[in-house]
Structure 1
Amino acid sequence: MPKYVSVDAHSGAPVREYPFHSDAQVRQALDGAEAAGAEWAGRSFAQRAEVLEAVADLFEQRAEKLGRIISREMGKVAAEAAGEAQFSADIFRYYATNGERLAADRTLTESPTSRTVLQHKPLGVLLGIMPWNYPYYQVARFAAPNLMLGNTVLLKHAESVPESAAAIADIMAAAGVPTGVYTNLRATHDQVSHLLIEDPRVRGISLTGSERAGAAVAAQAGAALKKVVLELGGSDPYVVLSAQDIPAAVAAAVQTRLENTGQACNSNKRIIVHADIYEDFVAEAVRVVSQLQPRPPAEITDGVGQRFFGPMSSAGAAEKIVAQIEAAAAAGATVHTGGQRLDGLWASGFYVSPAVLTDVPVGSEVYYEEFFGPVVTIFRAADDAEALRLANDTPYGLGASVFADQPGRAEAFGEHLQAGMVGINGEVPMTEETPFGGVKSSGYGRELGELGMEEFVNKRVICVHK
């Protein structure tokens, strides 16, 4: 029988197997979520906030242990792993502190004879389908606002991170989240489709994953008339129009690209550089990337992209990115360095040497693909107009950023970028207050910040006639 399997990304060795839940267990979980909903929704915001504060405290207290789990299970380097757990704590605490204010009743109209109020009421049972690349943060940004609203959550995590999923469930239980309010489900795709999405008690679905998975879930949910939030990745442009300090510009671009070993939805997957500085930029990028050395993720305690790199999350992820690099080369791209599975000592793990690519043919099949791994892809733009055409020439629209030394140049350029998040002379900050989401094939809906309280909610209008 297939299983959820935790595998050490460094060694390639299986750590522990977790069986799928049976159909009966999935039905029982849904029954429990529905049964727990009335009592949870009936609590005051202050009572729910107290529980979310306890969740935040435990994420904070267990950050080092949680970091070790994801370093082993999906290869996140130590410099980032505990920080992800801390960020999850910050998200839960943000909604515990601000949730009541964000969901407060709002008077729309008032007259001597009537008063109309907009309320935020929970929808009920929600299903979260989460990915492996940020095992804690992805769950936190979905679960925290919705638990604060009074919804109940069924959480189907990625099959490669069962230990991370179990650690979150342990925190929920220890923090006093009532049984049924948050449930970790090891469900099959068939169970998700037929036992959950088709069940009328599930009122909304949030998925972070591939475009293909998002389209399938959206189609099923649409047929069942259910709200969906989708975050489906991106191929974010990172436009450098000018730079006085080329080494500093390259260092920033490479470090951003190699965060989480390049496995971030909003990573700068297409670096577009003005012709005036293109040759120097590429030469510096090749120098920097070619000097990076592999290390076990638990041993990388400084910033990514500086000296070392860790493994990818799985054998499949490593094989896919190598195949994409080979396809790019076959299409005419230049591979300046990297792009191979490592031999010898590292062969059993999921290590791929970081690559620098140029000359990926515009309009080719691989040009429109998302490179989800340690690949620095650089494009030459003759002028600002061509840079903008390249930046927007993608089916995705998650994030984008633009850099220029001249006052106003980057701001003017950024106004025309087709993305849900745009950074001017810097990245959009990843904070609990900042909404996250995109347009086009990157999906729809927003998480985090005040907009995170707006997705799975009954925006009920009450009119009181005096």
Structure 2
Amino acid sequence: MTTEYTNYIDGEWVASESGETFDVTNPANSDEVVSRHPSSTEADVQTAIDAAVAAQDEWGDTPGPSRGAILREAGELLAARKEEATETLVREEGKTRSEAGGEVQRAIDIFYYYAEKCRDLGGTVKSPSGTDKELYTKREPLGTVALITPWNYPIAIPAWKLAPALAAGNSVVLKPASQAPNSARILLEVLDEAGLPDGAANLVTGSGSTIGTPLAESEDIDGLSFTGSTAVGTAVARAASEDLTRVQCEMGGKNPTVVMPSADIEEAADIISVGAFGTTGQSCTATSRAIVHEDVYDEFVDAIVEAAESLSVGPGLDDPGMGPHVSDGELSSTLEYVDIATSEGATLETGGGKPAGDEYEGGYYVEPTVFSDVSNDMRIAQEEVFGPVLAVIPATDFDDALDTANETDYGLSASIITQDLTEADRFVNEIEAGVAKVNEKTTGLELHVPFGGYKDSSTNTYREQGDAGLDFFTSVKTVYRNF
């Protein structure tokens, strides 16, 4: 029998007023219904907002170390449930067991990190220009914030928004993606068990068009943090800006890795394979363009094809090299881009379809895919595919490779593989991306440093994670005290 869950509002698990629900199915076997959740309404959203607003003063007035103690306890409770959370994530999103376990651990570490940062929240003391005076700043919570999170990292991204928001003393309304809401539910369960006051954090599930828009447009929301596509994020930011709500949106990417002649080509192929095909390419920082110097282009194509063909594809619970897409819609989109790339003249080197075999019939599986002979004006080189599809683009020299890397509307993550320090330094200084890496994959982020993009990858307002995560969720007040 399918387990049916409810919203979490004002410290209680409650059904939607609509009485309607939606099913979450297993991407590895679409016949398996994993769970059932409320199709919430605008009225449900308003109830959650009201609860958060009512709870904000009490939570905001709670001493920072006390808030931190609750976050640490939540992290410990999540650690105790790690295996359960890992399997839940695999069954609703499709990641491999190893990928899901790493993501759950990241959520645990995020709670631990911000639990300690609660002790450092305060301000700075400055020197006044006169005697018998004090001049200092103090940080205060924004108030009530809305968090809209995607399905591709269904526990890590909610955690890296929830933890700093709560650490700073804000109350929260969280709307997770409908494809994978269970992981966020677990976060609310551990926060509740850890002793978070009623109403300080609330969870509502449902479609973005029905409940995301009211969150963005609400006059009671003081800050909105969104992660998702550029099209939706732009619309959300515009809606929120009508009331001058503070907004933070992290959106799409078309991330390049440049490969220069000094690179070890086998190592470069291994790095790019993980960046392109890990998490089934369903990451905003996934490597979607390999820009390769012409002197090593053919050697690299052979190596990356071998790497792609060596990956096993299967159900995430079996921990293969790559799991399925999250949904039929995402699978169809990837296959459509394969057709587009072929029609535009790119050469399909490997993959490009659904793997053969009865074991794949019930799931949203696709093969790791490599295209060569790609020019940077092709759609496959400019548009976010969000699947395990790599476009290999030739470059005549370093300057040509750098220009190609920057010739896109996105600017999230980028890397270079080289043993030349001059090339590495120039790349870091001249690449138009919020994350620049040397001899590393474009995916993978440390939790204690800022994360965000340039151009259409971000609203270019505030960064996430680390101290920057707290910057977004706090206002700074400057105090002048004359004795």
- TM-score, length of structure 2 as denominator length: 0.91
Match of 1:105 in 2: 123
Describe how 1:318-329 pairs up with structure 2 within 5 A. 318-329=331-342
Separation of aligned partners in 1, 2:302 and 2:212: 49
Q: Secondary structure at the match of 1:12?
A: strand
Q: Secondary structure at the match of 2:337?
A: helix
Distance 1:164 1:183, change over 3 A: same
- Say which of 318, 324, 343 aligns to 1:330: 343
Equivalent residues of 1:63, 1:83 under 8 A apart: no
- Say which of 404, 418, 421 aligns to 1:404: 418
Describe how 1:225-374 pairs up with structure 2 within 5 A. 225-300=244-319, 308-343=321-356, 344-374=358-388
Per-residue CA deviation, residues 42-98 of structure 1 (Å, 9 max, x unaligned), is: 110010000000111122111111010111101010111111111111111111112
Separation of aligned partners in 2, 1:80 and 1:236: 20
Q: CA RMSD in A?
A: 1.7
Q: Secondary structure at the match of 2:105?
A: helix
- Say which of 175, 179, 183 aligns to 1:156: 175
Match of 1:460 in 2: 477
Match of 2:15 in 1: none
Match of 1:434 in 2: 449
State the Cα distance separating 1:191 from its structure 2 match. 4.4
Q: Give the letter for the 1:375 counterpart.
A: V
Match of 1:389 in 2: 403
Per-residue CA deviation, residues 106-154 of structure 1 (Å, 9 max, x unaligned), is: 0233241322211110011100000000001101111111100000110
Q: Percent identity?
A: 32
Deviates more, 1:4-13 or 1:136-145: 4-13
Equivalent residues of 2:289, 2:381 under 8 A apart: no
Match of 2:25 in 1: 7
Separation of aligned partners in 2, 1:45 and 1:74: 34
Q: Secondary structure at the match of 2:424?
A: helix
Q: Give the letter for the 1:104 counterpart.
A: G
Per-residue CA deviation, residues 276-327 of structure 1 (Å, 9 max, x unaligned), is: 11110001111221232322111116xxxxxx32111111111111101111
Deviates more, 1:408-417 or 1:257-266: 408-417
Match of 1:304 in 2: none
Equivalent residues of 1:99, 1:453 under 8 A apart: no
Separation of aligned partners in 1, 2:381 and 2:224: 31
Q: Give the letter for the 2:448 counterpart.
A: E
- TM-score, length of structure 1 as denominator length: 0.95
State the Cα distance separating 1:245 from its structure 2 match. 2.7
State the Cα distance separating 1:21 from its structure 2 match. 2.2
Separation of aligned partners in 1, 2:37 and 2:422: 54
Q: Secondary structure at the match of 1:309?
A: coil
Separation of aligned partners in 2, 1:99 and 1:417: 34
Paired residue total: 459
Q: Give the letter for the 1:262 counterpart.
A: G
Equivalent residues of 1:125, 1:204 under 8 A apart: yes
Separation of aligned partners in 2, 1:352 and 1:297: 13
Equivalent residues of 2:165, 2:470 under 8 A apart: yes
Distance 1:220 1:81, change over 3 A: same
Distance 1:187 1:8, change over 3 A: closer
Equivalent residues of 1:122, 1:458 under 8 A apart: yes
Structure 2: unaligned runs, 5 residues or longer: 1-17
Equivalent residues of 2:255, 2:288 under 8 A apart: yes
Match of 1:217 in 2: 236
- Say which of 171, 194, 201 aligns to 2:190: 171
Match of 1:84 in 2: 103
Answering whether residue 135 of structure 2 is matched by residue 122 of structure 1, we say: no
State the Cα distance separating 1:190 from its structure 2 match. 4.5
Separation of aligned partners in 1, 2:278 and 2:213: 37
Q: Secondary structure at the match of 1:133?
A: coil
Deviates more, 1:438-447 or 1:111-120: 111-120
Separation of aligned partners in 2, 1:176 and 1:316: 39
Equivalent residues of 1:207, 1:231 under 8 A apart: yes
Match of 1:183 in 2: 202
Per-residue CA deviation, residues 238-259 of structure 1 (Å, 9 max, x unaligned), is: 1111345321221121012222
Per-residue CA deviation, residues 225-280 of structure 1 (Å, 9 max, x unaligned), is: 10110000211111111345321221121012222111111112111111111110
Distance 1:427 1:366, change over 3 A: closer
Equivalent residues of 1:124, 1:203 under 8 A apart: yes
Q: Give the letter for the 1:331 counterpart.
A: E
Separation of aligned partners in 2, 1:368 and 1:410: 24
Separation of aligned partners in 1, 2:261 and 2:451: 28
Separation of aligned partners in 1, 2:44 and 2:306: 54
Separation of aligned partners in 2, 1:115 and 1:191: 49
Separation of aligned partners in 2, 1:22 and 1:433: 36
Per-residue CA deviation, residues 156-204 of structure 1 (Å, 9 max, x unaligned), is: 0001112222222211211111121111111443543564333221101
Equivalent residues of 2:279, 2:322 under 8 A apart: no
Equivalent residues of 2:79, 2:108 under 8 A apart: yes
Equivalent residues of 2:95, 2:322 under 8 A apart: no
Q: Secondary structure at the match of 2:34?
A: strand
Describe how 1:43-54 pairs up with structure 2 within 5 A. 43-54=62-73
Separation of aligned partners in 1, 2:324 and 2:69: 38
Structure 1: unaligned runs, 5 residues or longer: 302-307
Distance 1:195 1:288, change over 3 A: closer
Q: Give the letter for the 1:6 counterpart.
A: V
Separation of aligned partners in 1, 2:37 and 2:117: 37
